[in-house]
Structure 1
Amino acid sequence: MERFLNNYLHTFSCFNLETGDFPGPVVTISRQAGCSAQRIAIKLSKILTGYSYMSETKTDAEWSWVDKSIFSDVVENMIIEINNGSYDDKAEAVRMMKEVARAFSNETIYDISDKKLIDIFKGVICKLATSGRKIIVGRSAGVILRNVPDKLNIRLEAPTEWRINRVMQLKDLSQAEAAKYINEMDQKRDSFIEKIIGRKAENNDFDIIFNYASLEDDQIVDAVINILKDKKIISSQFNL
């Protein structure tokens, strides 16, 4: 297993200082419990795809937000590459790859504590970023890709009381149940980030933090588009 981790996953490190080869473009969205990152990711993917199709290249232009099916597809492709390689620990590597994919799909990824599984997960996130034009929601992708230049790390936050009320409505929970839910989810996500980078997330791990309680989804999307233009991650010569 060490050979797989040291050799195969090393090829998907998030950047290569020697060659100047960086993945991206990629957008990551971190959020506190009660903030709907998925809706913003879907809207962003559609708008950014439109910008890409109007760019000079007009090739490989589609942006996609990473759901469990896209994550699973990337894992399956990596498994094919592993099976075609010369690793003597193929069976164990494939088993652990599939375990990470299952954890991603059923929202138990934050419960993973095994360092090898975490390293594999980081490798998959880097593989996704390498393919470019991805919007990754949660899963600590922002801190994993924090050193990638061609990216935008977004954070959605809101006051605790507002989030409790929203979760009460969305999940039909009592106030106490909603408060327990957001507290547990926030703790899980914070704990997973500590497993990834060895410390708690800080504000400077994100490029921009939005107050989800005071902004509409479209306002956040518009702001993100403008920032991506200013950072020259997308073309600035077109307006939708």
Structure 2
Amino acid sequence: MDNFFNNYLQNYRHMNFETGDFPGPFITISRQAGCSAKRIAIKLSKILTGYSYMSDTKTDADWKWVDKEVFSQVVDEMITEVVEGGYDNEKGDAVKFLKTVDNAFSEETIYDISDQNLILTLKGIICRLACQGRTIIVGRSAGVILKNVPNKLNIRLEAPIDWRINRVMQIKDLTRAEAEKFIVEMDEKRDSFIEKVIGRKAENNDFDVIFNYASLEDDLIVDSIVNILRNMQIIARLNDY
């Protein structure tokens, strides 16, 4: 099991960090509790898909944000490759770890994971999602895991804590004390998980752009992201079509 993902990632045909053979593009969105990364991801996936379909080549043009279904599809593909590809899978440990991370993905319990093999498994799945290209990965430490991979944009959503408390009170119908407790605990869990994944706290330079979610509407954030992607030539400008 210790060598499973080293072997898997070295042999995965779409990824080679040394040569730069790493398809994309992809986007990661990190957020503080109370900031709606999911809404940004959904809107962004629709707009970027529209940009892709303006080109002459319409094959595999859809952008998708990674929800539980997309995550599970990737896990199923990896399980098939593990079983059929002869990778280290004694006693079914590799498959078991893949399924454990898959089950945890849609729950906040994923941030309680401390087993290094499970964390390595998550890294492998995140890398696979990035390799697919035209994916938008929300949370799960994807930004710091993929920090040094090219052809991507790492985004961070932040807001003052008082604003986030008020927003969580409204969304979840909580008292102020309950909302504050929720935010503090969730931020601590996410920060702690990042430390488990990369061995340190997240820093501003782990992200390409940080938005103040309290002062910017969703559409303005999405428009800004699209402009950044165009200027970085991750997506084409309209007049390039």
Normalising by structure 2, report the TM-score: 0.95
Q: 1:6 — aligned with what?
A: 6
Cα offsets for 1:136-186 (capped at 9, x unmatched): 011110001111110001100000000000000000100000000000000
**1:180-199 alignment to 2 at 5 Å?**
180-199=181-200
- Aligned equivalents of 2:119 and 2:135: distance in 1? 21
Shift of 1:88: 4.7
- The question of whether the paired residues in 2 share the 8 Å contact of 1:23 and 1:148 is answered with no
SS of residue matched to 2:24: coil
Shift of 1:52: 0.6
- Aligned equivalents of 2:119 and 2:102: distance in 1? 12
SS of residue matched to 1:121: helix
SS of residue matched to 2:216: coil
Q: 1:224 — aligned with what?
A: 225
Q: 2:173 — aligned with what?
A: 172
Cα offsets for 1:84-107 (capped at 9, x unmatched): 022352511101100000010222
Q: 2:110 — aligned with what?
A: 109
Q: 1:120 — aligned with what?
A: 121
Q: 1:151 — aligned with what?
A: 152
- Aligned equivalents of 1:196 and 1:147: distance in 2? 14
- Provide closer, same or farther for how the CA distance between residues 151 and 40 of structure 1 changes in structure 2, counting only shifts above 3 A: same
Q: Verify: 1:203 aligned to 2:204, yes or no.
A: yes
Q: 1:53 — aligned with what?
A: 53
- The question of whether the paired residues in 1 share the 8 Å contact of 2:154 and 2:208 is answered with yes
Q: Verify: 1:42 aligned to 2:74, yes or no.
A: no
User: Which 5+ residue runs of structure 1 have no aligned equivalent?
Assistant: none
Task: Report the residue type matching 1:112 in the other structure.
Answer: I
Cα offsets for 1:116-136 (capped at 9, x unmatched): 000010000000000000000
Q: 1:76 — aligned with what?
A: 76
SS of residue matched to 1:2: coil
Task: Report the residue type matching 2:95 in the other structure.
Answer: V
Q: 2:30 — aligned with what?
A: 30
- Provide closer, same or farther for how the CA distance between residues 47 and 164 of structure 1 changes in structure 2, counting only shifts above 3 A: same
Cα offsets for 1:37-92 (capped at 9, x unmatched): 00010000000000011124221100000001100010001001111022352511
- The question of whether the paired residues in 2 share the 8 Å contact of 1:51 and 1:238 is answered with no
Shift of 1:19: 2.8
Root-mean-square deviation (Å): 1.7
Q: 1:136 — aligned with what?
A: 137
Task: Report the residue type matching 1:40 in the other structure.
Answer: I
SS of residue matched to 1:29: strand
- Aligned equivalents of 1:145 and 1:200: distance in 2? 15
Task: Report the residue type matching 2:66 in the other structure.
Answer: V
Corresponding residue pairs, total? 239
- Aligned equivalents of 1:24 and 1:159: distance in 2? 33
Q: 1:100 — aligned with what?
A: 101
Q: 2:67 — aligned with what?
A: 67
- Superposed structure 1 runs of 4+ greater than 6 Å apart: none
Normalising by structure 1, report the TM-score: 0.95
- Aligned equivalents of 1:132 and 1:143: distance in 2? 17
Percent identity between the two aligned chains? 69
Q: More deviation in 54-63 or 127-136? A: 54-63
Q: More deviation in 86-95 or 161-170? A: 86-95
- The question of whether the paired residues in 1 share the 8 Å contact of 2:111 and 2:193 is answered with yes
Q: 2:21 — aligned with what?
A: 21
- The question of whether the paired residues in 2 share the 8 Å contact of 1:26 and 1:133 is answered with yes
- Aligned equivalents of 1:208 and 1:62: distance in 2? 24
Shift of 1:14: 9.3
